[in-house]
């Protein structure tokens, strides 16, 4: 059995206040708190082509989407 040339690896990054991001209960990041953070972080902007909870992070040499999940009170990115 060979290894597929189409195999790729990736990761999920969760920005959360919970001890373990997948916990059902715990402290949350409110959308209002996230909006305040956006005022001081020029690398993160709202993705106007998508929903109000979609954002783009731009760092030198790379840009990637970031999503706010109001049902979980966290942000996440899949890379």
Q: What is the pTM of this model?
A: 0.79
- The model's pLDDT over 3-17, given as tens digits with 9 standing for 90+, comes to 667 767 788 899 999
Q: pLDDT-based confidence at 39, cuts 50/70/90?
A: very high
Extents of the domains making up the chain:
18-71
- The model's pLDDT over 44-67, given as tens digits with 9 standing for 90+, comes to 999 999 999 999 999 999 999 999
The rounded distance, in Å, linking the Cα atoms of 61 and 54 is 20
- Alpha-helical runs (H) found in 1-79: 31-38
């Amino acid at each position: 059995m060979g290894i597929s040339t189409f195999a790729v690896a990736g990761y999920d990054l969760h920005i959360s206040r919970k001890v373990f991001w997948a916990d059902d209960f715990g402290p949350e990041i409110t959308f209002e708190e996230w909006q305040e953070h956006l005022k001081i972080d020029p690398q993160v902007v709202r993705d106007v082509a998508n929903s109000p909870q979609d954002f783009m992070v731009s760092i030198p040499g790379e840009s990637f989407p970031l999503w706010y999940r109001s049902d979980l009170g966290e942000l996440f990115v899949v890379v």
